[in-house]
Amino acid sequence: QVQLVQSGGGLVQAGGSLRLSCVGSGRTFRSAPMGWFRQTPGKEREFVARISWSGISTYYEDSVKGRFTISRDNAKNTVYLQMNSLKPEDTAVYYCIALDTSNEPLGSWGQGTQVTVSS
């Protein structure tokens, strides 16, 4: 099972940028698709972006297309989420997670990282 530790996030003004990192342990990390999700109070956790195990294929939720970039470095067991042109509605706790072959969350979530975008 992949264990995940997140870093990055914080407070930024609208239009700014942040990068989230997620370091995985375990032999399965390099063979697992990875995803980023986010959650705001009172709402369900929602999909943001995912990346294939090789890093070749990526997919984004419509509201972040063109602004967010997911990438990974398997040599470092790390997946990233570069967030540009941030908007107040991007404010949420962000989570990384391994995905199964159906792109459904698999195993344990990262601990979560708060991203706050001020207007």
The per-residue pLDDT for 25 is 86
The per-residue pLDDT for 27 is 72
CA distance 23 to 111: 11
The per-residue pLDDT for 30 is 85
User: What is the average pLDDT across 80-103?
Assistant: 96
The three-state secondary structure class of 74 is: helix
User: What is the average pLDDT across 25-51?
Assistant: 92
| 96: nearest Cα among 56, 62, 51 | 51
Contacts of 57 (CB under 8 A, 6+ apart): 51
Checking if the pLDDT of 29 tops 80, the result is yes
Neighbours of 37 (CB within 10 A): 22
Tens of pLDDT, residue by residue over 51-86, are 999 999 999 999 999 999 999 999 999 999 999 999
CA distance 32 to 35: 10
Q: Which residue has the higher pLDDT, 29 or 115?
A: 115
| 32: nearest Cα among 55, 9, 15, 11 | 55
Tokens coding 117: 């975008």
For the chain, what percent of residues have pLDDT higher than 70? Answer: 99
